[in-house]
Amino acid sequence: MTRIVALALAAALVPSAALAEPCPGSPQALGTARVIEVDVKTTPRVGRKHFPTTLPLRAKELVLTFDDGPWPGTTPRVLDALKRECVRATFFLLGRNAEANAGLARRTLAEGHSIGHHTYSHPELNRMPLDKAEAEIDRGIAADEFAVYGHRRTDPVMPFFRFPGFAATQPLLDRLSDRGIVVFGADVWASDWLPMSPEQQLDVIMARIEQAGRGIVLFHDTKQQTAAMLPAFLRALKQRGYRIVHVVPAGIRGALN
């Protein structure tokens, strides 16, 4: 697939207006309130846990993100829950998992979610020489792009990246900015790497969201406890008046004009 065809595919899945979309057959669904374009020129790094700035979100607006997938068993449940509520999220794929589960990677895009990158094998990039670290990033991007779009490229269709374990270095951050790739941290995380019941997980993340009031929320779609609590989580957000914002790369809609 050529880059322009890949962009067309991705652009066709991005909502045409930055407004709420109806959720067919589910008027009570949480939905996706609006879409914002994220531009490396204005916001090269976002997420206050790691960087001084984050996305320009209003009170009670959340961006949902999922790392480390796609993973059989859990990612389909996460996608099902999001689809039921017409919620669009961003998935930071691990290259080796995208390679092994390409159908799930394609399904993620086909259901309107944004596809970001998270290296090939999840090493701590701050413990590697710069050239090896960048090669690992590129191997991940190429594997993800091949799984999703059928073309092995290192200039991603959606230039979003998150460091494994948030282990960034300044030279790598600079290099990614130079390449037009936005680095995502997080404003709120679920700590779903710690084993807990789905009920406990729901309590933890809701308490943190209530405290933060807005922001980029980090989950792992590889975790059973997260997949299990997601339907109740999305219902709770609706009941408490939160709104979902979908992030897309700047210019993706205009890429074909």
> Which stretches of the chain bind Zn ion, using CB under 5 A?
67-68, 164
162-153-14 Cα angle (round to 5): 65
CB 233 within 8 A of CB 62: no
CB of 257: closest distance to Zn ion in angstroms?
Answer: 35
Structure tokens at 244: 């979902």
Counting Cβ atoms within 10 Å, is residue 19 exposed (0-12), middle (13-18) or buried (19+)?
A: exposed
CB-nearer residue toward Zn ion: 67 or 134: 67
CB of 1: closest distance to Zn ion in angstroms?
Answer: 27
CB of 178: closest distance to Zn ion in angstroms?
Answer: 23
Element (H, E) at 157: none
Q: Tell me the chain's radius of gyration from C-alpha atoms.
A: 17
CB-nearer residue toward Zn ion: 67 or 192: 67
Nearest residue to 148 (alpha-carbon basis) of 183, 113, 121: 113
Nearest residue to 106 (alpha-carbon basis) of 91, 118, 128: 91
DSSP state of 228: H
CB of 68: closest distance to Zn ion in angstroms?
Answer: 4
CB-nearer residue toward Zn ion: 92 or 233: 92
Cα 120 from Cα 4, distance rounded (Å)? 24
CB-nearer residue toward Zn ion: 69 or 198: 69
71-31-192 Cα angle (round to 5): 35
CB of 111: closest distance to Zn ion in angstroms?
Answer: 21
Strand 34-38 relative to strand 243-249: parallel, antiparallel, unpaired?
A: parallel
CB-nearer residue toward Zn ion: 30 or 89: 89
Q: Is 10 helix (H, G, I), strand (E, B) or coil?
A: helix
CB of 220: closest distance to Zn ion in angstroms?
Answer: 7
CB-nearer residue toward Zn ion: 164 or 198: 164
